[in-house]
């Protein structure tokens, strides 16, 4: 298909357990032998604060930021996810990341796999290396000084409401010149991915990872989600489902351009099952260990 066929689509990826097949915080902590200490910190600190404190302790033990970045470079990233990113970009889609991980971990992975240039924006918890060489991780929404993001949804952690960020993305897209707003496809797995899911409308798509927390939340109240829901189980599934959606969006855009007249739907779209309540009521797979990302 021509490169312009995905020009009407913005694909927004979660990072942990979506682009990489693990939780980045846990991956680094486990790789550097600090699992038990991190678990202790989580007993009395919010997740985002605990990972910042953990980085401070690793620094005091002589662990360098290069060692931390090196551990992230070994995080599992499937060739199918790489292919999905490259193909979606080649088809003309705009790609973004919306993640409760942090900029340092995400940058390390994207740079290592040559993917940084594919994404126009990465919305995540800020990170920087201070003068002493210690990695600092900050909250996306500052909650340390009595303020908060204001979201009352229990699934949003105090440091980041992805729903607020999604609202900003949708407002930005609605201001673009053109008859209709570009379609958004959102991929995620965790509890924090539920709030942005609720911001999407009928012309958008949600791709929840089957058997993970956001899937369970969508199944529990299917009518709360207005977007077209298309589940995926693994990286190969992610690639197939995402590219099917992009081709489907291209066909829908062509129909809009033609004034709503029927157009020939590409063969790869005809056999696509519509996401429906029965599909989402399928037996839920065993849950993975839950992390807020």
C-alpha to C-alpha distance for 76 and 23, rounded to whole angstroms: 10
- In order, the DSSP letters of 9-55 are EEEEE--BTTTBSS-HHHHHHHHTT-HHHHHHHTTTS-HHHHHHHHH
Tokens of 164: 């607020």
What is the helix (H) or strand (E) element at residue 291, kind and residue range?
Answer: none
- Identify whether the C-beta of residue 242 lies closer than 8 Å to the C-beta of residue 225: no
Q: What distance, in Å, lies between the first and last C-alpha atoms of the chain?
A: 34
How far apart CA 67 and CA 31 sit, in angstroms, is 10
Exposure pattern of 243-259 as b/e (b: 16+ CB <10 Å)?
bbbbbbbbbbbbeeeee
Ordered DSSP codes for 185-221: EEEE-SGGGHHHHHH--TTSEEEEBTTSHHHHHHHHT
- Is 130 assigned a catalytic role? no
Q: Using CA atoms, how far apart are residues 34 and 272, in angstroms rounded to an integer? A: 45
For residue 261, give the H/E element and its range: none
Annotated binding site for substrate: 25, 100
Q: Tell which phi-psi region holds residue 62, choosing left (phi > 0), alpha (psi between -120 and 50) or beta.
A: left
Q: Which residues are annotated as a binding site for Mg(2+)?
A: 14, 16, 189
Candidates 14, 23, 52, 204; catalytic one? 14
Q: Which residue ranges are tagged as binding site?
A: 14, 16, 25, 100, 189
Known active-site residue 52: no
Active site (catalytic) residues: 14, 16
């Amino acid at each position: 298909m021509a490169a312009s066929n995905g020009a009407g689509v913005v694909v927004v990826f979660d990072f942990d357990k979506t682009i990489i097949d693990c939780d980045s915080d846990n991956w680094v902590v486990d790789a550097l032998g600090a699992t038990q200490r991190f678990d202790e910190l989580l007993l009395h600190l919010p997740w985002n604060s605990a990972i910042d404190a953990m980085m401070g302790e690793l620094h005091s033990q002589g662990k360098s930021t290069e060692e931390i970045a090196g551990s992230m470079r070994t995080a599992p990233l499937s060739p199918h996810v790489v292919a999905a990113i490259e193909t979606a970009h080649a088809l003309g889609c705009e790609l973004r990341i919306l993640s409760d991980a942090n900029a340092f971990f995400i940058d390390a992975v994207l740079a290592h796999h040559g993917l940084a240039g594919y994404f126009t924006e990465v919305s995540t918890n800020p990170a920087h290396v201070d003068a002493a060489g210690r990695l600092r991780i900050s909250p996306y929404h500052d909650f340390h000084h009595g303020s908060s993001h204001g979201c009352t949804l229990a699934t949003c952690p105090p440091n980041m409401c992805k729903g607020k960020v999604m609202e900003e993305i949708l407002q930005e897209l609605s201001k673009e010149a053109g008859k209709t707003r570009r379609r958004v496809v959102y991929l995620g797995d965790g509890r924090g991915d539920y709030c942005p899911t609720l911001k999407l409308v009928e012309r958008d798509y949600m791709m929840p990872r089957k058997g993970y927390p956001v899937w369970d939340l969508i199944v529990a109240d299917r009518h709360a989600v207005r977007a077209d829901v298309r589940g995926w189980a693994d990286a190969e599934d992610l690639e197939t489902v995402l590219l099917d959606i992009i081709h489907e969006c291209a066909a829908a855009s062509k129909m809009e351009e033609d004034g709503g007249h029927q157009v020939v739907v590409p063969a790869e779209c005809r056999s696509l099952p519509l996401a429906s309540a029965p599909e989402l009521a399928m037996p839920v797979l065993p849950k993975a260990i839950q992390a807020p990302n």
